[in-house]
C-alpha cells in the first residue's frame, strides 16, 4: 500500500527566509511520482512541482525545489526566499498503483510572518 | 494549459435530497477522473476513481450507493450525493488525468456542499 507522511502540522517562518517542508513516502511500486500542491483558503489545488521516481536530478520550479532522497524515501519541498503569499496549506502527494491515482499526506500549514 | 471546470462551486441542499456535481475537462480528454472529499483542516481523501465507459472504483469505506459516479464521456464525470445528510457536508474536488502529460493531473476548483 502507498502512504504519504507529513509530520509538520504547522510552521511559522519569517518572510524572505527559506523553508523546508518534510515529506516521506512508502510504496512497493518501482515507478511512482511525487507532487507538491499548495492550497490557499479558496480551496483550489495549485500544482507546484513534480518528481518522477526515475528522475536523476532533483526537480526545480522557480523558488520551489524538491529534495528527493530515494533511499530514504523522502521528498522534501524547499521554498527559497519566502513571501507573504506563500502562506497556505501544502500537501505532498504520490501517484501510483493500478489507476495511477494520487494520494495525499495530511498537509502542513505554512504561515509566513512579515 | 489544461483546465478542469467543476460546478457548482457552492451548493446548499435539504436533508434527503440529491445533489449532482459536474467535473468537466475543457481542453483535453480525461480517460480517468478522481473524486476527493476534504473535511475542514484535513487532507484530501480519495473517494473513487472513474474510467470513461466503465464503473467507478470506490475506495474502502465509501458507499457506492450514496456517492454515484458517472463518467459517460471523455470530458465529463459527475458525482451525485444521494439522500444527502448533514454529515455529507464537505468540500468535494475532482481531478482529471491527462495521459499526454507526464504529471497531467488537473484539479477542479471544488464544490462546497452544505446539507441543512
Share above pLDDT 70 across residues of chain B, in percent, rounded to a whole number: 99
CB–CB contact B42 A101 (8 Å)? no
Q: What is the mean pLDDT of residues B75-100?
A: 94
DSSP per-residue letters across A17-86: S-EEE--EEE-S-SS-EEEEEEE-TT---EEEEEEETT-SS--EETTEEEEEETTTTEEEEEESS--GGG
What is the tens place of the pLDDT at every residue in A54-78?
Answer: 999 999 999 999 999 999 999 999 9
* Interchain pair B57, A99: CB under 8 A: yes
Distance from CA of A58 to the nearest CA of B (A): 15
Contact B105 A52 (CB under 8 A): no
Give the pLDDT band (50/70/90) at residue A100. Answer: confident
Chain A residues with CB within 8 Å of chain B CB: 33, 35, 37, 42-45, 47, 50, 52, 91, 95, 99-107
Amino acid at each position: 500500500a502507498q502512504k504519504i507522511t507529513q509530520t509538520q502540522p504547522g510552521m511559522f517562518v519569517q518572510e524572505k527566509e527559506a523553508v523546508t517542508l518534510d515529506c516521506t513516502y512508502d510504496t512497493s511500486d518501482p515507478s511512482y511520482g511525487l507532487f507538491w500542491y499548495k492550497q490557499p483558503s479558496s480551496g483550489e489545488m495549485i500544482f507546484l512541482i513534480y518528481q518522477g521516481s526515475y528522475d536523476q536530478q532533483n526537480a526545480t520550479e522557480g523558488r520551489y525545489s524538491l529534495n528527493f532522497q530515494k533511499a530514504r524515501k523522502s521528498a522534501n519541498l524547499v521554498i527559497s526566499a519566502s513571501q507573504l503569499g506563500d502562506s497556505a496549506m501544502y500537501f505532498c502527494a504520490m501517484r501510483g498503483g493500478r489507476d495511477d491515482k494520487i494520494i495525499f499526506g495530511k498537509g502542513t500549514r505554512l504561515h509566513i510572518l512579515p | 494549459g489544461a483546465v478542469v471546470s467543476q460546478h457548482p462551486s457552492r451548493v446548499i441542499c435539504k436533508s434527503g435530497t440529491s445533489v449532482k456535481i459536474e467535473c468537466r475537462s475543457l481542453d483535453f480528454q480525461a480517460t480517468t477522473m478522481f473524486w476527493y472529499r476534504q473535511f475542514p483542516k484535513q487532507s484530501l481523501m480519495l473517494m473513487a476513481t472513474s474510467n470513461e465507459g466503465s464503473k467507478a472504483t470506490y475506495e474502502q469505506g465509501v458507499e457506492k450507493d450514496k456517492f454515484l459516479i458517472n463518467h459517460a464521456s471523455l470530458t465529463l464525470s459527475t458525482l451525485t450525493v444521494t439522500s444527502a445528510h448533514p454529515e455529507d457536508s464537505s468540500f468535494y474536488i475532482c481531478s482529471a488525468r491527462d495521459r499526454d502529460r507526464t504529471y497531467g493531473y488537473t484539479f477542479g476548483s471544488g464544490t462546497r456542499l452544505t446539507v441543512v
